[in-house]
């Protein structure tokens, strides 16, 4: 079994189904998948310390540590700058997954993974430097990294340049216990708290949809969480409804992925 086939065992694709038309625009169907980070590290990286999940200190890495080259020189500098092993593992998993998807489904088969550039806009939203017609959203939590790719077809009428609009937002979170009242009041409005299903999956679904929406508009944590409301299946931004497609998935009853577009 070759290396790519081994890594494919740790990558799982979600069935996004048909995306209906909104506001006269036919929305492209996204590719959304998640990957087990530990399995990826075991099969793609030689460096043993990266598999020591009890270690806290970062692991020095060089190009020879990777069975499949996928990092540029600047990316290697970046991953070696992180202060914890956990952050290194999450970043490496998400980085590889983006590049693997672009190369496999949307890229030039002659180009190497290390040549695929993942850049960031002013609001911190990622975009693909050499693939301006492909929107991307990235998330990671616990043992998983997740990536969403979506063609920008049908979005020519937007008010801002393409690279400033991710056109898709996706968030992955581990489902924990019910948060404290203080957290709930910080993260959600009173209308949301009254309308949501007050169970761990219900609360974390609402959280991931809000996070996905903030990525969708390219704002991330640069926007107050109270400016975004999820009431039932409808998103309100600064009091005004947004006509968006929303979908959520549970993974092993322990994680939840939500995306909006």
Is domain 174-261 in CATH 3.90.470.20, yes or no?
yes
User: Does residue 25 surpass a pLDDT of 70?
Assistant: no
The reply to whether 174-261 shares the fold of 1-120+134-167 is yes
Q: Pick from 93, 99, 212: which is nearest to 141 by CA?
A: 93
Measure the CA–CA gap between 98 and 29, rounded to whole angstroms.
17
pLDDT of residue 20: 57
pLDDT in tens, 27-69: 667 889 999 998 998 888 876 667 666 667 888 999 999 998 9
pLDDT at 260: 93
pLDDT at 161: 39
- Report whether 119 contacts 127 (CB < 8 A): yes
Question: How is the chain split into domains, by residue range?
Answer: 1-120+134-167, 174-261
Cβ neighbours of residue 78 closer than 8 Å, sequence gap 6 or more: 91
- Which of 48-57, 107-116, 143-152, 191-200 bottoms out in mean pLDDT, i.e. has the lowest? 48-57
What pTM value is reported for the model? 0.88
> What's the token pair of residue 240?
């005004």
Higher pLDDT, 161 or 48: 48
Q: Is the pLDDT of residue 22 over 80?
A: no
How confident is the model at residue 15, as a pLDDT?
Answer: 78
DSSP of 99-160: HHHIIIIIS-TTS-GGG--EEE-TTS-EEETT-TTEEEEEEEETTEEEEEEEE-TT-TT-SS
- Give the range with max mean pLDDT: 102-111, 163-172, 183-192: 183-192
Do the beta carbons of residue 177 and residue 200 sit within 8 Å?
A: yes
Q: Is domain 1-120+134-167 annotated with CATH 1.10.357?
A: no
pLDDT per residue over 86-135, tens digit each? 899 999 999 999 999 988 876 665 568 999 999 988 778 898 888 888 88
Q: Cα separation of 259 and 247, whole Å?
A: 6
| Residues 134, 179: Cα–Cα separation, whole Å | 36
Alpha-carbon span 140 to 259, nearest angstrom: 14
Residue 157 has pLDDT above 80, yes or no: no
Apex 140 CA angle, 108 and 68, nearest 5: 40
């Amino acid at each position: 079994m070759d290396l790519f086939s081994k890594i494919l065992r740790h990558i799982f694709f979600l069935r996004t189904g048909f995306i209906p038309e909104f506001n006269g625009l036919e929305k492209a169907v996204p590719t959304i998948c998640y990957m087990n980070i530990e399995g990826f590290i075991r099969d793609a990286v030689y460096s043993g310390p990266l598999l020591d999940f009890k270690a806290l200190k970062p692991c020095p890495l060089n190009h020879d540590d990777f069975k499949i080259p996928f990092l540029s020189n600047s990316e290697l500098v970046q991953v070696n700058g992180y202060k914890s092993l956990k952050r290194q593992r999450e970043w490496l998993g998400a980085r590889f997954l983006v590049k693997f998807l672009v190369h496999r489904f949307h890229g030039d088969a002659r180009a190497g993974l290390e040549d695929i550039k993942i850049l960031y806009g002013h609001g911190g939203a990622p975009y693909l430097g050499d693939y301006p017609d492909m929107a991307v959203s990235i998330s990671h939590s616990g043992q998983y990294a997740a990536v969403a790719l979506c063609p920008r077809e049908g979005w020519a009428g937007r008010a801002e340049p393409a690279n400033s609009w991710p056109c898709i937002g996706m968030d992955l979170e581990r489902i924990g216990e019910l948060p404290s009242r203080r957290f709930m009041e910080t993260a959600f409005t009173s209308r949301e708290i009254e309308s949501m299903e007050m169970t761990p999956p219900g609360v974390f679904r609402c959280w991931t949809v809000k996070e996905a929406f903030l990525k969708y508009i390219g704002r991330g944590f640069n926007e107050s969480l109270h400016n975004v409301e999820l009431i039932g299946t409808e998103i309100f931004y600064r009091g005004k409804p947004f006509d968006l497609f929303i979908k959520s998935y549970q993974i092993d009853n322990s994680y939840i992925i939500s995306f909006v577009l």
